[in-house]
Amino acid sequence: MLIGGDMLSDVFPPMLDVDAGDDPIADYRAGLDRLAGLLAAVEIVVPGHGFVGRGEEIRDRVVRDRAYLDALQAGRTPQDPRLGPDVAPGWEWVNDVHESQAAALAGRFPGLSSRS
């Protein structure tokens, strides 16, 4: 079992520490890579928020988190089921978190706008 803290959630995308370091996307990606390296020995992930993940679902969460980071860094709108009008009830605020992350990072990455 792996306790994921604020990582590997099924209800919200990566929440970056945008005020720390020069590249919070790379920092988050490094942490995600460390966790991904442990997954071969893990059957269950317990995120700090959301639902317990098992088996292939855990790897899917890593893929989804990496895709979110890639889109954010490239200035693209993330195609992520954890964002948008169809998010799980009670998790609509996550859209605001994404928008504030995009705005905070807009000056650091070429092509990144606050309207990602």
pLDDT in tens, 16-66: 999 888 899 999 999 999 999 999 899 999 999 999 999 999 999 999 999
94 within some domain: yes
Q: What is the mean pLDDT of residues 81-102?
A: 91
* pLDDT score for 112: 55
116 within some domain: no
98 within some domain: yes
110 within some domain: no
pLDDT at 106 exceeding the cut of 90: no
Contact 2, 38 (CB under 8 A): yes
The C-alpha atoms of residue 35 and residue 62 are separated, in whole angstroms, by 9
- Domain total for the chain? 1
61 within some domain: yes
Q: Residue 62: CA atoms inside 13 Å, Cβ hemisphere, count?
A: 19
Domain that holds residue 47: 2-105
Which two tokens mark 87?
């998010």
Q: Which long-range contacts (CB under 8 A, 24 or more apart) does 35-42 make?
A: 35/2, 35/4, 35/7, 35/8, 35/62, 36/62, 38/2, 39/2, 42/1, 42/2
111 within some domain: no
112 within some domain: no
pLDDT at 76 exceeding the cut of 50: yes
114 within some domain: no
